[in-house]
Amino acid sequence: MKKIYTAVKFCGMRRRLDIEYANECRPDYAGFILSDGFRRSIVMGTFYELVTYLDKDIKRVGVFVNEPIENILNCHYNQELDVIQLHGNENEDYIKTLRKDFSGEIWKAVRAQSPGDIGREQKKSCDKLLIDSYSEDCVGGTGKRINTENVKNANIGKPFFIAGGLDGENIAEIIRETAPYGVDVSSGIETEGCKDIDKMKKIMSILRKENLR
């Protein structure tokens, strides 16, 4: 059977301890919430400090929600981001403007209520999609499990990540159902709101054992 490689992003890094955990577990990406007003948000000073400890082989993802473009580019000009993830209502003009000054990848999140939501977002000139569960009250990190039927019934023409309620109990099943490029995990690697090294290790171990990584 052909081996499948599933990229892994651990999101919502806030503490130096989280970075130490990531360096030990070796995900492909570490995500930082850089827009204000969310439970896992961090200020720029904290972000700049944390990335100095992050292993250089782990790519840095800045997550933004309807952020003024100039705020995002301030991060880029300091050469700290490999990926910009847009998790709000950013349109095609926004992405095109951002791309003029950012040479890394741009991902667009879609809070999928239906396959049509995914179809509309993939028309934008982003490099990858991040397909998340839908919540009326929150843009992400809810722990609510994604509706895999929306993914399976969408004709997705670009690489995509799956997010939404992924944890050590369901991640292998969801990967096999949806065949994503990668998985994005946040609440599923936390205990009482903090990153948990054992849960992080469990997910990495499962993906290796199940031949998904």
List the chain pLDDT tens, one digit each, 213 residues.
Answer: 455 789 999 999 999 999 999 999 999 999 999 999 899 999 999 999 999 999 999 999 999 999 999 999 887 767 889 999 999 999 999 999 999 999 999 999 998 888 999 999 999 999 999 999 766 555 555 567 888 999 999 989 999 999 999 999 999 999 999 999 999 999 999 999 999 999 999 999 999 888 777
Per-residue pLDDT at 145: 86
Tokens standing for residue 127? 């490099």
Per-residue pLDDT at 127: 97
Per-residue pLDDT at 4: 73
Per-residue pLDDT at 17: 98
Tell me the CB-side half-sphere exposure of residue 138, using CA atoms within 13 A: 12
Per-residue pLDDT at 134: 61
Helix (H) or strand (E) holding 9: strand 7-10
Q: Strand 83-86 to strand 190-191: parallel, antiparallel, or no bridges (unpaired)?
A: unpaired
Contact (CB, 8 A) for 38 and 32: no
Contact (CB, 8 A) for 151 and 119: no
50 φ, ψ to 5°?
Answer: -60, -40
Where exactly are the structural domains of the chain? 7-209
CATH architecture of 7-209: Alpha-Beta Barrel (3.20)
Per-residue pLDDT at 1: 43
56 φ, ψ to 5°?
Answer: -65, -20
176 φ, ψ to 5°?
Answer: -65, -30
